């Protein structure tokens, strides 16, 4: 981390915890972005942190056209 930040090692030990974790996060992102496998890892890591579904992508993948909910028909549950 000292090399990445351009500071002496002893100053890394003197960083407050918030600065340390922010710099560590940036370092991991920087290192992972250097390779194809790392970029794939970063995309998956970002995807896994999402809390809302990407509805438009899901609808397109399912062949629903994107904006039509439930295939354009009224959804009545499992048993019609």
Ordered mean pLDDT values, 10 residues apiece, the chain (80 residues): 90 94 94 94 88 82 62 51
pLDDT of residue 69: 53
Name the domain count of the chain.
Answer: 1
Structural domain range at position 38: 2-63
pTM for this predicted structure: 0.57
2: tokens are 């000292």
Residue 56 resides in a domain: yes
What does the alpha-carbon distance between residue 16 and residue 8 come to, in Å, rounded to a whole number?
A: 15
Residue 11 resides in a domain: yes
Residue 71 resides in a domain: no
DSSP category for residue 74: -
Residue 69 resides in a domain: no
Q: Which residues contact 26 (CB under 8 A, 6 or more apart)?
A: 4
Residue 80 resides in a domain: no
């Amino acid at each position: 981390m000292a090399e990445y930040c351009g500071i002496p090692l002893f100053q890394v030990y003197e960083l407050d915890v918030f600065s340390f974790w922010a710099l560590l996060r940036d370092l991991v992102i920087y290192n992972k972005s250097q390779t194809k496998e790392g970029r794939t890892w970063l995309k998956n890591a970002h995807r896994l942190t999402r809390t809302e579904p990407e509805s438009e992508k899901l609808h397109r993948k399912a062949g629903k056209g994107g904006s039509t909910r439930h295939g354009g028909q009224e959804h009545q549950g499992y048993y019609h």
